[in-house]
Amino acid sequence: MDIRDLHDDYAEALSLLVDTLAAGGEAVPPSVELQPPVDLMAALEASVRDARRARHGNHG
């Protein structure tokens, strides 16, 4: 992989923010659509259950 092929979105956004503020502009937070929280315990339990089924030939 060539380092020149990589792109840093964070650095680009930060640079844009700094330039905007330096020019007297205002920082406007991006609009973000809120997502419902993920139930990590349920996801872990499902993952373990699926792994056990796969290991035991889908018997349980």
Torsion of CA 29, 30, 33, 36, to 10 degrees: -50
Binning pLDDT at 50, 70 and 90, where does residue 46 land?
very high
pLDDT of residue 58: 66
| pTM above threshold 0.75 | no
pLDDT of residue 59: 58
Q: Which two tokens stand for residue 12?
A: 């680009």
Over the range 4-33, which residues count as b (16 or more CB within 10 Å of their CB) and which as e? eeeeeeeeeeeeeeeeeeeeeeeeeeeeee
pLDDT of residue 57: 81
Q: Each residue of 4-21: pLDDT tens digit?
A: 888 899 999 999 999 999
Q: Each residue of 49-58: pLDDT tens digit?
A: 999 999 988 6
